[in-house]
Amino acid sequence: MKKAWYKEGVVYQIYPRSFKDSNNDGIGDLKGIIEKLDYLKELGIDIIWLSPIYESPLDDNGYDVSDYRAILKDFGTMEDFKKLVKEVHNRGMRIILDMVINHTSSEHKFFKEALSDVNSKYRDWYFFKKGKKNKLPNNWTSFFGGKAWTYNKQTDDYYLHLFAPSQPDLNWENEEVKKEFKDVLKFWLDEGVDGFRLDVINILSKREGLPNGKKRLALTGKEHYVNGPKMHQILQELNEDVFNKYDCFTVGETVLIDTKEALKYTGGDKRELDMLFSFEHTSVDTINNKWFIRKFRPYHLKKVLDKYQEALNNKGWNTLFFENHDQPRVVSRWGDTKDYYKESAKLLATILFFQQGTPFIYQGQEIAMTNADFKELDEYKDVETHNIYKLGREVFHFTHKRMMKKIKYMSRDNARTPMQWDDSKNAGFSKGTPWIRVNSNYKKINVKNNIKDKDSVYHYYKKIFALRKKYPVIVYGDYKPLFKKSRYLYAYERTLDNNSLIVISNFSKKQRKFPKLNLDDYKVILQNYKTLDNNYLKPYEARVYLKTK
């Protein structure tokens, strides 16, 4: 297998608005990130990923960009960014940016001109269409709920937005669009960034004519834009003209993808994407749509993760993640915050980060931050959350109580509460009023307490990252699932050059019998309980065994 620095590194995602506020205006910023670089280095982080920092009206917290070459004033200046890049590199780390190129903000100068002038060259940069007999141009629906078209009174037509109306989709059939965004990518690479996370990258290509889609409960029309007809051509062109000219890497957010499609993007020598985020495993507790929630069963998670490990083993490259800015906190979602908080948080880290792929952790995951404890709808700031609440109440006629239960479990704001640094006011995030309320459990769950407690989740994560750097088998070893039919036992083996690593865990609240395994010549290199019983696995117990040649 070809080796690469981005395969061996550990990525830490920062949501700048919620990470660290340096000027006490209640909003995290670039200077705040600089303050915490030594913390990240000490944790064992190699690559920092920043969620969007560009100029934006913030209808979708920065994923609606109005100027791709400017820093959002809330976060600082270009000089602050240049200093951040320099300080990251001085510490031997790297930095990647979130790049949103499926759509712009409706406040972008290109779209504003297109909106007002049918003769503008920018009209063809987006999708404008007339309605059909008082109907919308087609029946597509948005990722955020509702129709994917908004009426423009100025030109008596509609424009396409697969997300919010403030996020009009770009037309990647237009050569000038391609040139503009190649230049944007080069601009930031020349500023010293080491790569990009490419937002919803596999929906850039839309089917010609934008035909009606098969009616669905959610995302009607998806067959006409997910992995669209020219998607691979677009990515190959971006690599040839931009990425291949730099020592950088790309990770694509790919929605509604399977292993077959994943290999098309990451397999072979074409280098379309170096790795990708697939979300099948984040849907194991839902049906058809993230808002239709079902009971979580560990077996379903294991089945999906095993499938991706086996399919991409030595062919493509996986990302290892449970959390990001769009996902709930994993210990609240799949762990046990009541009786086995620390044990379940450590188990979740163990089963994931010893697999083949690049680990991605989200700010606060290393201290097992939990979901937001908001009581009222107006405490949530996320546009998707409010759109879904409205849809649930008005279209499905769900009760307020039922919708709030869904939101408390699945809202994107669960991951966006301020980072909990210590037990001082506002968790040490800011001395001002935070843009979104701090979780009230911050006096107990915070970085300061985790560092002090040698048995904390933080120190466990630190051990995992150190082990990845010490043993190549963890990074490059082949993957083999063990006890595949077990409902609660999550186990697998990694092998490389006669070295063997075995992960064994009990993903349940009950004590289970230890499985029959020949562990002669193996030593335990990580465990989440202080004492081991060779006959039983305790609730949420995880162990890692290693045999070297």
* H/E element, 523: strand 523-527
Provide the 3-class DSSP secondary structure of residue 50. Answer: strand
Q: Which of 169, 194, 199, 326 is catalytic?
A: 199
Can you name the residues that pair with 546 across neighbouring β-strands? 501, 523
For residues 341 and 444, what is the distance between their CA atoms, to the nearest angstrom? 12
Among 253, 306, 382, 413, the active-site one is 253
| Partners of 132 in beta bridges | 135
DSSP per-residue codes, 204-272: -PPPTT-------SS-TTGGGTTT-TTHHHHHHHHHHHTGGGSS-EEEEE--S--HHHHHHHHSTTS-S
Which DSSP symbol is given to 320? E
Name the phi and psi angles at 526, rounded to 5.
-160, 140
**How far is it, in rounded angstroms, from Cα 390 to Cα 406?**
13
Give the CA distances from residue 471 to residues 253, 451, 477, in Å, rounded to whole numbers and listed in that order: 29, 25, 10
169 beta partners? 103
What element of type H or E holds 148? none
Short-list 384, 441, 434, CA closest to 410: 384
Q: Angle CA(243)–CA(2)–CA(467) in degrees, nearest 5?
A: 105
What 3-state class would DSSP assign to 154? Answer: coil
Q: How far is CA 313 from the centre of its chain?
A: 21
Question: What is d(CA 491, CA 502) in angstroms, rounded to the nearest whole number?
Answer: 7
The contacts of residue 514 (CB under 8 Å, 6+ apart) are: 504, 533, 534, 535, 536, 537
Amino acid at 486: S
Clarify whether 493 is annotated catalytic: no
CA 133 to chain centre: 41
Annotation says 384 is catalytic: no
Please tell me what DSSP assigns to residue 467. H
Positions marked catalytic: 199, 253
